Amino acid sequence: MTPKSPKLREVLEGIPTYKPGRPPAVEDDGAPAYKLSSNENPYPPLPGVLEVAIATARSFNRYPDLACAALTVELAEHLGVPESHIAAGTGSVGVAQQLVQITSGPGDEVMYAWRSFEAYPIITRISGATAVQVPLAADETHDLDAMADAITDRTRLIFVCNPNNPTGTAVSRAALERFLDRVPQDVLVVLDEAYKEFIRAAEGEGEEIPDGIEIYRDRPNVAVLRTFSKAYGLAGLRIGFAVAHEPVAEALRKTAVPFGVSQLAQDAAVASLRAEGALMERVEALVAERARVYEGLTAQGWTVPATQANFVWLRLGERTADFAAAAEAAGVTVRPFAGEGVRITIGETQANDLLLRMAEAFRKEL
């Protein structure tokens, strides 16, 4: 008798698998190799954070604080929002999954730009909802008019990734507000601001890039998603949060995996918030490196969309895989999206130097 397998939900068939950025290749000659494939922060933990984490590690026989109370107090003060508007989770991707869970199931539509953060289709399909992917505009930014046009009476959730992963492009405050004015009030709009800290107003352009916290205040159907993984450098500890009005924040707390956010993550996040000065210095250094990489690549002749995140995007089409292979051979791993392009994280100076040299050589052979 052939053993029967357990019956699993049909929606699981065909769900794309999340592809993590490849680790750096090990070089035979001992030359350093760098990982520019996951938008991580190249710096060690902020001052004082490791000490706090080590002290907390001594009590990991205990469950963490289910309510993430100390972090909630700290965040509420930091952002100037009520404590009841904060819901922490296992990375912002964990909170994003909860946002889908609390709004959308079979028959409902979840909308987002495409290409955008690759977890959106996965978490949408897991919930059984239908994904509505609205192509980016020709300049690699969200096509917010097309997104507003695509809203139906089944739309329940819309992700606006600002700046967008993997293109780095940002929507302006005026464009976002125009869009939000067109979204029905019973549709939740999630402003995914994983890369918020890297935003710098484009000089001379005069286009203000919105801060989700200002936008959500008088819009009950807007939630903001933030993370400690990128600028704060806590990717490995898995902690992120949403800021949303009470009904949404409350639903998020209900759907959280109990004790999902470790005490290590909670305490490290609090300590990181208290190291704001050092954070700013590091972010500034990465923003300066970003400008150097951007200018270097454009001087070589590449078309690089203006980026507000800690990465740049090269639309390489069919040369994508070749570029990724050449980068790896040169000692830097980047993130290829087959047939579309590569996303290159801004890393340590040496890694960025390697990338620029390799991109120049690759360009000459085009």
Ligand X SMILES: Cc1ncc(COP(=O)(O)O)c(C=O)c1O
Token pair of 36, please? 């520019």
- Contact between 56 and ligand X (CB under 6 A)? no
Q: Considering beta carbons, is residue 144 or 330 the nearer one to ligand X?
A: 144
Q: Shortest distance, CB of residue 114 to ligand X, whole angstroms?
A: 13
* 192 makes contact with ligand X (CB under 6 A): yes
E strands within the chain? 34-35, 86-89, 109-114, 130-135, 155-161, 188-192, 222-227, 240-243, 311-314, 332-333, 335-337, 341-345
CA distances from 269 to 68, 91, 232, 233, 338 (A): 11, 11, 8, 10, 35
**Contact pick of 41, 92, 169, 307 for ligand X (by CB under 6 A):** 92
Whole-number Cα distances in Å, 81 to 186, 216, 243, 244 = 22, 10, 8, 9
Pick the stretch among 88-96, 247-255, 265-273, 275-283 that binds ligand X (CB under 6 A): 88-96
Reduced to 3 states (helix: H, G, I; strand: E, B; else coil), residue 113 is strand
Of 192 and 197, which CB lies nearer to ligand X in the complex structure? 192
**Applying CB under 6 A, does 229 fall inside the site for ligand X?**
yes
- Say whether residue 233 binds ligand X (CB under 6 A): no
Would you say 311 or 362 has its CB closer to ligand X? Answer: 311
- Exactly one of 171, 194, 342, 359 binds ligand X (CB under 6 A); that residue is 194
Determine, following the binding rule CB under 6 A, whether residue 161 of this chain makes contact with ligand X: yes
Residue 345 contacts ligand X per CB under 6 A:
no
147 scored as a contact of ligand X (CB under 6 A)? no
Which C-beta is closer to ligand X: that of 260 or that of 331? 260
State the minimum distance, in angstroms, from the CB of residue 184 to ligand X.
24
Tell me: does residue 165 bind ligand X (CB under 6 A). yes
Q: How far is the CB of 96 from ligand X (least distance, A)?
A: 6
- Which of 85-93, 175-183, 342-350, 351-359 is the region at the interface with ligand X (rule: CB under 6 A)? 85-93
Q: By three-state DSSP, how is residue 58 classified?
A: coil
Instruction: State the nearest-atom distance from the C-beta of 192 to ligand X, in Å.
Output: 5
Binding to ligand X (CB under 6 A) within 14-43 occurs at: 39
End-to-end, the C-alpha distance of the chain in Å comes to 59
Contacts of 64 (CB under 8 A, 6+ apart): 259, 261, 262, 263, 265, 266
φ, ψ dihedrals at 274, nearest 5° = -80, -5
Using the contact rule CB under 6 A, the part of the chain among 87-95, 176-184, 262-270, 291-299 near ligand X is: 87-95
| Cα–Cα distance for residue pair 136/121, rounded to 1 Å | 15
Side-chain-facing half-sphere of 121: CA atoms under 13 Å: 16
What CA–CA distance (Å, rounded) separates 308 from 319? 25
10 Å CB burial of residue 355 (0-12, 13-18, 19+) is buried
By the 8 A CB rule, do 158 and 188 touch? yes
Nearer to ligand X, 72 or 356 (CB): 72
- Shortest distance in whole angstroms from residue 362 CB to ligand X: 25
Comparison of 165 and 221: residue with beta carbon closer to ligand X: 165
307 binds ligand X (CB under 6 A): no
Q: Which residues bind ligand X (CB under 6 A)?
A: 39, 91-93, 117, 161, 165, 192, 194, 227, 229, 235, 240
